[in-house]
Every structure is written in structure tokens, then in C-alpha cells.
Amino acid sequence: MTSEPDEAYVWVWLPHHDQPVVAGRLQPAGRVLTFTYGQSYLARDDAIPLYLPELPLGRGPIPPRVGTVAGCLADAGPDAWGVRVILARLVGDGAADVDQLSTLTYLLESGSDRIGALDFQVSPTTYVPRAIDHPSLEELVEAADRLDRGLPLSAELAQALLHGTSVGGARPKALLEWDGRPMIAKFSSTTDTYPVVKGEFLSMELARRAGLDVARVELTQAVGKDVLLVDRFDRAEGGRRAVVSALTILELDEMTGRYASYAALADVVRARFVDADRTLRELFARIVFNVLTGNTDDHARNHAAFWDGELLRMTPAYDICPQLRSGGEAEQSMAIGRDGWRYSQVAGCVDRAGTYHLSETDARAVVDRQIEVINEAWNEVCDLAGLAARERAGFWGRQYLNRYALEGW
């Protein structure tokens, strides 16, 4: 196990740059981590705040507004799966207590090819990327499967999994190059009781056909297991794009995330997003699609926006995955209305469409179009996913077009 660090340097890819520059230093101050911009960064003509309002350009240490570290920095850190990988590599037990390692350790031990435009380094002058090799998909699947089953990893497999430590979420995943494109690979889990990977492909493809802006996906297999490949929308030609989660945008952290709501996000969209009306319509369409396809795991980390130093722009949708459901009442992770209403019913969504600058007529058209696409494209997309008749029957009427979702429609 490595010794615990007492600082980390934050490096950033500025817009239209293909190499990172050091932005500042992250260090403990009691129970929190403060961030201080470097003088060399502040002196740059093209310097941008890493995110506003939490890290404005200026001298001196900046404490986090919420939580223990600034949200935009936390967004670049490992989530549940990445933490498991790091614990297995440093402690030897992926199920060990996460508090055995500090936040700085997790940031510095996770892979450099992380989501967004940030990375964490031990040096303020020399940038050394971690996990620059490119393991095969088969190696990644084998490593993820062994860790998921609690089996020890060889040094080679542990190194391969480093590519997945900087991606959010609790499910097994990794980063890789596929046909020359940067991708996120999502794997099945030993705890899956239904075809989760195929289900996510199904939802993402149906969403695309319904007109939503979604990340491009591809379904493949490796070592006899399903793998979902998702395009990295945070990568631009020659550089990286800064991304912040809705959790950060709403000035919440993991402890307060349950208070996140679509209505509050809509308020921020109106105030700070590029093309607010178009974005609000897209946001409403995503809410409706989540309801119609049983994706109740639509929490604030599963929504994000690009940050250019001044304004926000919604990223393509991702992590649209049907959740296990047998029927009856269901709720979305984030409240849809200002009244706290969060039930998984499209009629209630339409009743609150004004929050998203939509008339009842326009909102009903969004719902009707999505229902039409799901019905008409169902068999074709299920064929693409390789779903057996039993698997299709397990999804239909439960996650997809559940009776409760359509009550009153």
C-alpha cells in the first residue's frame, strides 16, 4: 500500500488545447480539501475557472461550497466501481472499508483518462499519465469479472482495470480504444438477475430513434459475455471537454443528492445554459423516456453538462437503463415538479410541462411520439440486442410501457 499523500496538483485541458496545464493545488484543511489556483495559471490569458460558482479565478485557498471537495473535482474522481478497483490493487481486498484510503489517494490512484478535462498529479511541473497502455477487451472483461466475484487479480489484470477507475457508477466498466475511438465498456455483473447490458443497449437505441440526443452505443461480446460500448462524448479532436454533473450544477454532494430535482435543474438551464428552450425540451423528453422505459435510476450523477468557462451545454444522454421492476407504483430518483412530485407516470409529467417551457399540446406530442417509437421499433431493436423471446417478455409491460406509467393517458 502506498503512503497517504498530503497534496495533489490539478491539471486541466483548456478549450482547444491538446496538452494539459497545471491549474492549482488541492490540499487538506481539516476535514475538507481546499483548492488554490497556481500563479502561472492565473497569469494565462486563456485561463478559465474550473467551474463556477464554486472555483472562481483568484488567489488563495478556496474551500468547497458543499461536501469535502469541490464538486467539479469530485466529478473527476472514481465512483463506487473505481473505488473497488483501487482498494483491490492497494489493499488487496475490493470489499475493504472505503475509508481506509483518503480522497487524495483515490484521485491520484485512478486512471488519467478520466471523464472530463481534469487530471490529478503529484507534480506541478511534470505531467505523467497513468494507464497509458491499451488492454484488450478480453483482458478487461476477465479482470472485471474476477474482481466482481471477489477473486484476486494478477498485477497485469489489476493494471488493466485501472482504465475503469475514473468512470462513475457502481457497475463493472472500463475505458478502451475501439476501432480508433475512445469508448466506455460496460460489463455484466455476477449479481445481474436480468440482461442489464442488453437492456441498456435497448433503451439507448430506442431513445436515439425517438429523437433524443444520446451517446452512440454498440453491443458486442467478449469471453462469452455481453459488453456495451458507449462513445466518449467528452473527447474532442486533439483535446478534452470539461464536464460537470447535475449534482455539481445543483450545488449538492453525495450526502445531499436526494434533494436534487428536475425542476431545480430546469431553473439552472434557464439561467446558465446555451439555448435554454431547446435544452428544456430535451430535458423534458428525457424525463418522459425514463418513465416509459423503467429507468428510475435517473439520479443527478446520471445527467451532465459541458462547461466552457462561461456557459453550460447539456451532454448527450447516457446511463439510460431499465431497472428491475415487477409492477405497481414507482418513482423517479429526482422530483419532476416543483411540488416534489416524482411518480413514474407520463400524465403527471405533462401536467408539469410548464416548468420546462412546454405547452400541454407540445408535451403530449413528446409522449405520444415516444410511445409510438417504442411500439414500432421494439422487435427490430430487440433483434439487434439479441434478446430471446423470454427476455423480451420480461421487459415488455414491466420496464417498457408499464401500465402504471400509462395510467390516465
Q: Tell me whether residue 182 is in a domain.
A: yes
Interval 7-49: pLDDT, tens: 999 999 999 999 999 999 999 999 999 999 999 999 999 999 9
Write down the mean pLDDT value for the chain: 91
Structural Rg of the chain based on CA atoms: 21
The rounded distance, in Å, linking the Cα atoms of 116 and 303 is: 13
Q: Note whether 271 and 364 are same-domain residues.
A: yes
Range of weakest confidence among 22-36, 244-258, 322-336:
322-336
| CATH number of the CATH domain containing 351 | 1.10.1070
Band of the pLDDT at 398, cuts 50, 70, 90?
A: very high
Q: How many residues does the chain have?
A: 409
Strands (E), 223-373: 225-231, 235-236, 239-240, 243-245, 304-307, 312-314
Q: Which residues pair with 15 in a beta bridge?
A: none
Show which of 196, 231, 266 is a domain's final residue.
Answer: 231
Q: Taking residues 229-248, what's their average pLDDT?
A: 93
Residues 312 and 226 in one domain: no
Distance in angstroms (rounded) separating the CA atoms of residues 343 and 350:
12
**251 and 223 co-located in one domain:** no
333 within a domain of the structure (yes/no): yes
Q: What is the pLDDT of residues 176-187, one digit of tens each?
A: 888 888 889 898
Say whether both 54 and 98 belong to one domain. Answer: yes
Regarding whether 179 and 54 lie in a shared domain, the answer is no
- Per-residue model confidence (pLDDT) at position 3: 74
Question: In the predicted model, is pLDDT for residue 126 greater than 90?
Answer: yes
Residue 130 lies in a domain: no
Residues facing 217 on adjacent strands: 230
Q: What local confidence, expressed as pLDDT, does residue 161 receive?
A: 67
Residues 84 and 66 in one domain: yes
The per-residue pLDDT for range 76-95, each reduced to its tens digit, is 998 887 788 888 778 875 55
> CA 135, CA 26: separation in Å to the nearest integer?
31
Residues 106 and 48 in one domain: yes
Domain that residue 116 falls in: 8-121
Give the end of a domain, one of 121, 156, 186: 121
Structural domains in the chain (count): 3
Q: Give the confidence band of 172 by pLDDT, cuts at 50, 70, 90.
A: confident
Boundary (domain end) residue, out of 187, 215, 231: 231
Residues 116 and 188 in one domain: no
pLDDT at 181: 86
**Residue 219 corresponds to which cell in the numbers above?**
453491443
**108 is a domain residue:** yes
- Say whether both 302 and 390 belong to one domain: yes
Domain-located, residue 151: yes
Our measurement of the distance from residue 65's CA atom to the centroid of its chain's CA atoms, rounded to an integer in Å, reads 21
User: Among 273, 182, 302, which residue's Cα sits nearest to residue 236?
Assistant: 182
Q: What is the pLDDT averaged over residues 354-365?
A: 98
pTM greater than the 0.75 cutoff? yes
With a cut of 80, say whether residue 158 has pLDDT above it. no
Looking at the fold, whether 286 and 189 belong to one and the same domain comes out as no
β-strands 225-231, 181-187 pairing: antiparallel
If phi over 0 gives left and psi between -120 and 50 gives alpha, with beta otherwise, what is residue 115? beta
